[in-house]
Amino acid sequence: MKILCSCCGADYEFRYGAGNVLCAVYTQGWSSYGAALYCPKCSKTWDERNRGRPLAGPESTIGVIDELYRRSRRTRGKCL
């Protein structure tokens, strides 16, 4: 599957699986706000751009990626 940064458009492709999702969030540093994902670079500068609106924690971000994967599976004829 592929996740996309909602800020700069950077993407990150990986095979969906618990270990790889954890890696994207904890090791690489992907984060989220609402249903939007942010790459490690944009996550780092988020606080400067969005004062008083903290990013969601790792657990929420994992939930966003899981949901994205479930949605992509429901789209027929499209392999992510």
Q: Which residues bind Zn ion (CB under 5 A)?
A: 5, 7-8, 10, 39, 42
Nearest CB to Zn ion, comparing residues 8 and 35 = 8
Q: How far is the CB of 62 from Zn ion (least distance, A)?
A: 18
In 10 A of CB 23, how many CB atoms? 13
How far is it, in rounded angstroms, from Cα 15 to Cα 1?
Answer: 6
Report yes or no: 28 and 51 within 8 Å, Cβ to Cβ.
Answer: no
Quote the least distance from Cβ 25 to Zn ion, whole Å: 15
Name the residue nearer to Zn ion (CB basis): 8 or 80.
8
